[in-house]
Structure 1
Amino acid sequence: MCVAFVLWRQYLAQPEGVLQLTKHGSQLSGRWLLVEGELGKELPVRFDYVGPWLLGLYVGAERLWLWPDSLPGASHRAVRRLCHRPGR
């Protein structure tokens, strides 16, 4: 019962809206465009997993996984270019 409750709370805590990423030099930051149309506060963004399809990132302290079907193809490629470091 406790596990079901924890999973339900995590499900309800998932972000809703659109994540807007900006790059300032080598730093990435993101803001949530909330369902109400408001922009959330600016948070640091860090990619820690870049696989052939799956992207893992932290927006502030929150962990997110971007699957190919979670955004349009052109946006997925643009995000991959943002997180790619030259020489890797």
Structure 2
Amino acid sequence: MSLQLLGAWVAGIAGAVFIVLLWRSASVQPKGVLYLTEGEGTLSGRWRLAYGELGEELTVRCDYLGPWLIGLWVGPERLWLWPDSLPRESHRQLRRLCHRAGR
């Protein structure tokens, strides 16, 4: 009986830790509009902040350009974009910016 109680207690703690980690990872995901600019072969981006002003300029690097999914590094943050993450024309423009000839 005490082993079952101990097992239930450990499972409860593990479940609580999992829920906290899941909530934390979801809450730190960037939200909002990212404005990209292209200059001399590099991409840079700025997030629109809560009051409409633009944040600091960050380096943007595309390291995965699949048929549907786009993987970006925006400064130190990892960002995955699905086609439903942004309007269709914006998705096409981003794919054109990230595509490198001969790749």
Q: How is 1:1-88 mapped onto 2 (pairs within 5 angstroms)? A: 1-88=16-103
More strand, by proportion:
1
Q: CA deviation at 1:35?
A: 3.1
Answer 1 or 2: higher relative contact order, Cα 8 Å, separation at least 6: 1
More helix, by proportion:
2
> Whole-Å Cα distance in 1 between the matches of residues 65 and 18 of structure 2?
30
For 1:53, what is the secondary structure of its paired residue? coil
Cα RMSD, aligned residues only: 1.0
For 2:50, what is the secondary structure of its paired residue? coil
> Whole-Å Cα distance in 2 between the matches of residues 31 and 4 of structure 1?
31
The count of corresponding residues between Structure 1 and Structure 2 is 88
Off by >4 Å, runs of 4+ in structure 1: none
Q: Which residue identity is paired with 2:102?
A: G
When normalised by structure 2's length, the TM-score is 0.81
> Whole-Å Cα distance in 1 between the matches of residues 54 and 31 of structure 2?
12
Rg bigger for which structure? 2
Note the residue ranges of structure 1 that are not aligned, 5 or more in a row.
Answer: none
